[in-house]
Every structure is written in C-alpha cells, then in structure tokens.
Chain A
Amino acid sequence: MNAESAIDVRGMTKRFGGRTVVDHVDLQVHTGQIYGFLGPNGSGKTTFLRMLCGLLRADDGSGRVLGYDVIAESDAIKREVGYMTQRFSFWEDLSIEENLDFVARMYAVKNRRATVRESIAQLGLAGRKKQLAGELSGGWKQRLALAACLIHKPKLLLLDEPTAGVDPKARRDFWEQIHQLSAEGLTFLITTHYMDEAERCHRLAYISFGKLLADGSVDDVIAQVGLTTWSVSGPDLPHLAEQLRTQPGVQQAVAFGNALHVSSDDATALKQAIAPFQHPPYDWREIPSGLEDAFISLMEGSKDNFTP
C-alpha cells in the first residue's frame, strides 16, 4: 500500500436494481493532489463519491481511503473526510452559526466556539451569522457548505460540484483556496462540468456510464483520446458544419466563436473528409485538440458502446 495515496481503490462497483451505475472503477489519488472527476449527467460520479465515504455500500471493490479499509472502516473514514453534497444539505432552518456549531459538535472539534467564530470570519459572514441558511443565495450556500466541510480539518475533501451556480469571481476565489489548501497537504476529489475547472486540477478522471474511460493529467487525457482537430473560419459556418457532419470521417463539428472545430480520432479519414471543403473563402488550420473536444469525443464514443 502506497503511503502517499489518499485514495487507492480498485474495482468499485455499485448496482441499483440490476443496473450497474458504477462499474469496476479503479482510482488512485495522491496526498495533496487536486483530482478532477468528470463525466456526463448520470454517469455515476456522485454514486462513486458516496461509496468512498461510506454513504453507499459498494457491491464490489476494495482498497483504502486515508489508509482505512474503504468497506470495513467507513466510520474512521468519516471522521477524517469532508464531504460536500451536490445538493445543499445543511439545515435551512438553522442559522449560519448554528449549522457550523452543529457540525463542529458532531466531529468533537476542540475549541469549538473559537473555531466556529474563525470560520465565520473567514467566510466574511461575521455580520450575518444569525441569518438562516435557507435565506442565503445559492452561491453563499455553496460557500457555507465548503466552510462546514472544512471545520473539522479533514485530510481529504470530496466535493460534488462545489461551484455549480457560483459567480466567476467567487469561483476564482474558491479555486485559489483549494490550491492553497492542497499546498498544505489536503487532498481533493472534485466533480465538475466546467472545462476551465478541469484544467485547474492536477489530474483528471473521466467516467461515463459508470466506466472510467480516461485518467491522467490534462495532456495525458487529451493524448489518450488521440484526437486530431482542424479549425476552419469563413462565411456561413452553420451551413458548413451541417455538411461536414454528414461526412463519415468527421466525428465532431462544433462552433467556437468565429471558427468551427472539426475533429476525429482518425487523422487520415478526417483529412479526406475535409478535402472537398479546403478552398477559399474557407481558411483551415490544424490545431491541438482541447480538453472539451476530448471529452465530447469520449462521450460520443461511450454512447456507441452502450447503445446496442
């Protein structure tokens, strides 16, 4: 067992009534890493996180979280993990202060009062600590939830879409804080649907229909997908996109601002497919594939695998 691993699990599987929702997922996350967990809606991200912290019983799988057995020692894991649920799950009829105080009591935090006070000050909510959590705006709820998850100084944070619905400035602040904490040795497993956030992670995993399809650094993931992308600009791009999509060698034709990104994992077939359109007024350039192109390709590919 690698002492450097905060998470090291193999074969994690969850079935709901015969449907396999997480299918033998292996994942290794080093201590201090920020690990991004991506995948389309319903791909099993939340289910996977819940299995890690003992909220769902895994049907199969083994391994360790923070050195504890992921199946047998979930009580010990709970004490050292902070889990932020996808949907706001603090008590809306308790105030900000009461929520934090409750969490602190549940984890038997030392110097509870001082810790809570500090946490409120850090949130910048000292003046509103008596406000009910239910009255906060969506973004503020997210911030409160994060503060509550951190109050017992966990070693590992499992954050399920922590920035959904948060404004850009607050998101930037949030990521600043994450990087700072990671530098102090905290480990993060974060699910997100935002590409810019994915790029801020040290490593990524991509899951679709419960199966892990790619993992590694941003460049690794792009390389694993092996995509070739051409950018084309010119007049009436929507019409061009429509024509290109009917070509067998083209897997994606997606508008990006004033250009169209055309990509495929078969470079030669793509070249043949676009040849008839490579004339003025169109301007073609081969470009490095982006993360989003890679993910969309993965999504399309897995759909083919799963629809009979």
Chain B
Amino acid sequence: MTRHPKFSFGRLRGIIVKEFTQMRRDRLTFAMMLGIPLIQLTLFGYAINSDPRHLPAAVVLADRGPYGRTLLYAMKNSTYFNFVEQVATEKEAHNLLARGEVQFVINIPQNFTRDLLRGDRPAILVEADASDPVATGNALGSLGNVVNTALQQDLKGSLASLNATDGPVDVQIHALYNPEIVTQYNIVPGLMGVILTMTMIMITGLAITRERERGTMENLLSMPTRPSEVLIGKIVPYIMVGYIQVGVILVAAHFLFHVPMHGSIILLLLVALVFIAANLAMGITFSTIAKNQLQAVQMTFFVFLPSILLSGFMFPFRGMPPWAQVIGEFFPLTHFLRIVRGILLKGNAFNDVILQLWQIALFALIALIIGVKRYRQTLD
C-alpha cells in the first residue's frame, strides 16, 4: 500500500467497458433514464407560490430634484426592493440584470421633479427580470400603489391638484426575458437540473454498493486496480445517460412547452457535462460511504430534497431567508439552475455563466477527491 501502481488508461478502459456492458443489461437503469424525466415533466406543471421581498434592484437616477428620491425611499419602505447599486447608464444596468445580480432596474428620467410639478404626469420605467415570474410578481403588483401614495403625501395644499385620478406618475413596467410571464418557462429548464441531480446521484450511488452486495468487490479488490481507475471508470458511462436525459428534456421543452431558447445549445451541453460530472462524483462518493444499496438511496434523498427546496427550483431563491440561501449556494443544482435559465431565457454567453460554472466544477473535483480517499482497498 506504500507503492501504488501507476494510473493505467488500459485498466480504466477495461472498467468503462465493463460498466457499459452491465448498464446495457440493467433494465432499471434504462427505466430511470427515461422514466424519471417523463414523470417529472408531467408532474411539475405548476409552481408553488411565495412572496419574496428585499429583491436587489439597481437605479438609474437622472433626476436632480427631490421627488425622485422620495419615490425610491417609498419603494425601499415597501420592503420589496433593496437598492444595491446606483449606475450611471442604462447599459450598465442591463449588464447587472443579465448576470442576475439584480432583479430590477428603476429608471427615473431627467427632469422628473420638474415634470411632476408641472402636472405633466412623468413616467418612470421599471425593468424586471421576469424569468422567474414568481419572484417578481408581487413586487411589481405593489409598485403602482407604492409610488402614488408616496407622492400623494408630499403633494398637498396647492399641489394637491396634481393628484390626478390616474396618479401623478405613470409607472411603466417592462418584463424582460419572459415577457408573457409563463411559469413553465422557468420550471421546465429547472427540471433539467432536478432530474439530472436525482438520477445521476442515484445511479452511481448504487455502483459500488452493488459490487459489495453481490460479492464481486472482493474480486475487484484482489486485482491491481487503483481507486481512481475504478471511480472514474464507473462515472464515464453514466455521462452518456445524463446526456440522453438532457436531450429528452430539451425536446420536451421546445415542442411541448415552447420554452424559448435564446442562448447557445452547445454552451448548454458543455455546462451540462460539468454538472453531470459533479452529480456523478457526489453519487460515487456516497457509494463509498454507504454500507448497502438501501443506504445509498437514502443518502441520495438526503441531498436531493434540500437541493430542490433550496436551489431556487421550488421557491424563488431570493425569497428564502439568508441562512437558507447560504446552504443553497453549496448545491450544484443552485448554480446550474441560474445557468440554464440564463442561457435559455436570457441568451447568456460563456462570460455570463463562468462565475456559476466554476463553482460546479470545484464541487465535482472535491467530491471526487473525497470519493478516492474514502474508497477502501481492503475488505475491513
């Protein structure tokens, strides 16, 4: 055990061939591969509602007068908005929106105060990232009311006449990325992540416990194999399974749910590879820890449930309490959801997704290292 044999690609290939052959003959794997996506796609036709607050917003404030600020103050007081940035140009603001750093951009035009006092009924523009409509819905709904009641308090006396029936300000809302606010547009791409998480962890979670339960582990360990060869050899064949699922979901997303696909599908497939690898590595690590197949399945659910609850799939991520967000950041699914929605709905490019992508890659690497360390080369 002091002197390890060198990593051998010949042996790795041998293990891959073996796993492929076994997978081909295992009906359960096939059932999981196609059954799980179909069932989940059918089940998740609805979303669970919620009322997230303190959503990050950016401001483009061109108005010099006092009323622009009064407005922003009122919006903040409504607890729906949390102004995190003030930017000079609309272009900058759009970048923040595209990267998902803010949910809203509030534009208060030049001469807003002047126009208001003149009774011209000036407009403010609110742009919202509506790719997750549940997250933005309530905030937008409250907006008109918040703005106009705030001004009514200030416009008293001689100015009271400005309180026209429509309100002194014209609040214009632009829902970006998902203008019709269709919930499926958000759910279906998210399902891709959920389905991959569940099947990939489960399939590989069984990989090593199965060898142990069938008694073949003793044989495998008596051969001069290295842990990394065994683990990687067991991961590779299932990447293909993952891609088949991605394919099924993309086809369903396009033809059944008419989800827009603004970004590059190639980029999506590349990101999916990293995400699949992360889940497989996690599964294989569970497999080295679990004593039997049942435990491996239980461990899968131990990760699966919190990741669908805390990743932003079930509830809008920004609606969760801070501690839940911190936990959520650990799950690869959280980052994958942002990427998939970003690519499909916002047309994100590589530069926009890299920030999330490396976190998934890091997770995959750490999981694999733990797996290799945990893999016991003896039967004790």
Measuring CB to CB, which residues of chain A are less than 8 angstroms from any residue of chain B? 50, 53-57, 72-76, 78-79, 81, 83, 85, 87-94, 98, 101-103, 105-108
- The contact string, 1 if C-beta is below 8 Å from chain A, for chain B 219-233, is 101111100000000
Give the residue name and chain of the A residue nearest to B23 (CB).
A93
Known contacts A75-B3, A93-B22, A102-B17; decide if A55 and B223 are in contact (CB<8 Å). Answer: no
The residue from B5, B11, B25, B218 contacting A75, defined by CB atoms under 8 A apart: B5
Contacts of A89 in B (CB 8 A): 214-219
What bracket does the count of chain B residues touching chain A fall in? Answer: 20 to 34
- The contact string, 1 if C-beta is below 8 Å from chain A, for chain B 6-32, is 001011011001100110011000000
Contacts of B26 in A (CB 8 A): 93
Q: Report the number of A-B residue pairs with Cβ-Cβ less than 8 Å.
A: 84
* 21 pairs, CB–CB < 8 Å, chain A vs chain B: A53-B222, A54-B1, A54-B222, A55-B218, A55-B378, A55-B379, A56-B379, A56-B380, A78-B222, A78-B223, A88-B215, A89-B218, A90-B219, A92-B214, A94-B21, A98-B18, A101-B17, A102-B18, A106-B11, A106-B225, A108-B8
Give the residue name and chain of the A residue nearest to B219 (CB).
A89
A94 and B14 CA atoms in complex are apart in Å by: 13
A247 and B170 CA atoms in complex are apart in Å by: 115
* Residues B13 and A85 in contact, CB atoms below 8 Å apart: no
Q: Does B42 have its Cβ within 8 Å of any Cβ on chain A?
A: no
Q: Does B165 have its Cβ within 8 Å of any Cβ on chain A?
A: no
A53 and B222 CA atoms in complex are apart in Å by: 7
- The contact string, 1 if C-beta is below 8 Å from chain A, for chain B 281-303, is 00000000000000000000000
Q: Does B161 have its Cβ within 8 Å of any Cβ on chain A?
A: no
Give B263 Cβ to nearest chain A Cβ, in Å.
Answer: 41
Known contacts A79-B224, A98-B18; decide if A87 and B380 are in contact (CB<8 Å). Answer: no
Contacts of B91 in A (CB 8 A): none
Give B233 Cβ to nearest chain A Cβ, in Å.
Answer: 11
* Residues A105 and B11 in contact, CB atoms below 8 Å apart: yes
A301 and B355 CA atoms in complex are apart in Å by: 73
* Residues A74 and B1 in contact, CB atoms below 8 Å apart: yes
Known contacts A55-B379, A85-B215, A89-B218; decide if A106 and B223 are in contact (CB<8 Å). Answer: yes
A10 and B114 CA atoms in complex are apart in Å by: 99
The residue from A76, A79, A85, A93 contacting B219, defined by CB atoms under 8 A apart: A85
- The contact string, 1 if C-beta is below 8 Å from chain A, for chain B 188-217, is 000000000000000000000000001111
A189 and B282 CA atoms in complex are apart in Å by: 41
Contacts of B215 in A (CB 8 A): 85, 87-89
Contacts of A78 in B (CB 8 A): 222-224
A79 and B8 CA atoms in complex are apart in Å by: 14
A133 and B368 CA atoms in complex are apart in Å by: 32
* Residues B224 and A105 in contact, CB atoms below 8 Å apart: no
Contacts of B25 in A (CB 8 A): 93
Give B357 Cβ to nearest chain A Cβ, in Å.
Answer: 35
Give A162 Cβ to nearest chain B Cβ, in Å.
Answer: 14
* Residues A75 and B224 in contact, CB atoms below 8 Å apart: yes
A72 and B1 CA atoms in complex are apart in Å by: 6
Contacts of A98 in B (CB 8 A): 18, 21
Q: Does B158 have its Cβ within 8 Å of any Cβ on chain A?
A: no
* Residues A73 and B378 in contact, CB atoms below 8 Å apart: no
A244 and B216 CA atoms in complex are apart in Å by: 49
* Residues A106 and B214 in contact, CB atoms below 8 Å apart: no
The residue from A56, A74, A106 contacting B14, defined by CB atoms under 8 A apart: A106
A73 and B219 CA atoms in complex are apart in Å by: 18
* Residues A54 and B378 in contact, CB atoms below 8 Å apart: yes
Q: Does B2 have its Cβ within 8 Å of any Cβ on chain A?
A: yes
Contacts of B216 in A (CB 8 A): 89-91
A92 and B21 CA atoms in complex are apart in Å by: 12
Contacts of B13 in A (CB 8 A): 105
Contacts of A55 in B (CB 8 A): 218, 221-222, 378-379
Contacts of B221 in A (CB 8 A): 55
Which residues of chain B (211-268) have a CB below 8 Å from chain A? 214-219, 221-225
A142 and B5 CA atoms in complex are apart in Å by: 29
Known contacts A73-B2, A93-B26; decide if A107 and B224 are in contact (CB<8 Å). Answer: yes
Other than the known A78-B223, A91-B22, A108-B11, what 9 A-B pairs have Cβ atoms closer than 8 Å?
A: A56-B379, A89-B214, A98-B18, A98-B21, A101-B14, A105-B13, A106-B11, A106-B14, A107-B224
Contacts of B3 in A (CB 8 A): 72-73, 75-76
Give the residue name and chain of the B residue nearest to A148 (CB).
B219
Give B159 Cβ to nearest chain A Cβ, in Å.
Answer: 83
Contacts of B10 in A (CB 8 A): 105, 108
Give B327 Cβ to nearest chain A Cβ, in Å.
Answer: 37
Give the residue name and chain of the B residue nearest to A71 (CB).
B1
Give the residue name and chain of the A residue nearest to B5 (CB).
A75
Contacts of B219 in A (CB 8 A): 85, 89-90
Give the residue name and chain of the A residue nearest to B4 (CB).
A75
The residue from B21, B22, B217, B223 contacting A107, defined by CB atoms under 8 A apart: B223
A266 and B377 CA atoms in complex are apart in Å by: 49
- The contact string, 1 if C-beta is below 8 Å from chain A, for chain B 134-150, is 00000000000000000
A107 and B377 CA atoms in complex are apart in Å by: 17
A105 and B84 CA atoms in complex are apart in Å by: 59
